[in-house]
Structure 1
Amino acid sequence: MLLIRAIVRPEKKDVVLEQLAGAGYNAATMVDVVGRGKQKGIKIGGMVYDEIPKSLILMVVPDDAKERVVQIIMNTARTGTEGTFGDGKVFVSPVEEAYTISRNSPGL
């Protein structure tokens, strides 16, 4: 199993989730977050905005779903045909164990 963490523009969150659900990947956790990338925020006039709103989508998927899920996120979250700074980031990490709280799980 893999944990996929996708940081996307807030206005892209719903369309990313829609495309994932359409491909059969319904389970996700969403969190509104703020942050900045390599550009250290954006400067407008004399003001620097370094807490840019983003949406964090968390999903645990089988190993063999990684390529498909990442591709859906990348294609859907990208702005325009080329993408631009601030479109987001996708991180993939292994998940060693997972437990469903509502079911009997082996003790730790």
Structure 2
Amino acid sequence: MKLITAIIRPHKLEDVRSNLDKIGISGISITEIKGYGKQKGHIENYRGNEYLIDYIPKLKVEIAVNDCDVQKVVDSIIEAAKTGQTGDGKIFIKNLEEVIRIRTNERGEKAL
């Protein structure tokens, strides 16, 4: 089992969710985050004053999947989240030792 973590632009969430629904992935967790990478922030104007925004708002999408589903989930996220510009985000894939469904105490792939 794997945990896929995708950092994406906020306005791409519905596209990502829709693509994941199409391939049968229904369980995702979303966290609002801020950060920066190569973008290094940007300047915004507010009431005639310029402000440097160091940290860009992003969303962290987490999905636990079976090993056999990893590539189709990654491909689906890339297809939906890619704009071709700096700041599109990143995808991280980590091994999951165990998953336990609290309600039924099911473990492993059955708990996904």
What is the TM-score with the length of structure 1 in the denominator?
0.86
Structure-2-length-normalised TM-score: 0.83
- CA deviation after TM superposition for structure 1 residue 40, in Å: 2.3
Please state how far the C-alpha of 1:50 moved relative to its aligned partner: 1.4
Residue of structure 1 in register with 2:77 after alignment: 73
Match for residue 54 of structure 1?
58
Query: In structure 1, how many angstroms separate the alpha carbons of the residues matched to 2:44 and 2:27?
Result: 38
Give 5+ residue unaligned stretches, structure 1. Answer: none
Aligned residues: 103
Q: 1:94 to 1:72 in 2, by over 3 A?
A: same
Q: How many percent of aligned residue pairs carry the same amino acid? A: 37
Q: Which runs of 4+ in 1 moved over 3 A?
A: 43-47
CA contact (8 A) 2:38 2:86 kept: no
1:10 maps to a residue whose letter is P
Cα RMSD for the two superposed structures: 1.7
Deviation (angstroms), 1:64: 1.1
The one-letter code sitting in structure 1 at the alignment partner of 2:93 is: V
| 1:103 lines up with 2:70 in the alignment | no
Q: Deviation of residue 42 (structure 1)?
A: 2.2
Q: Name the counterpart of 1:86.
A: 87
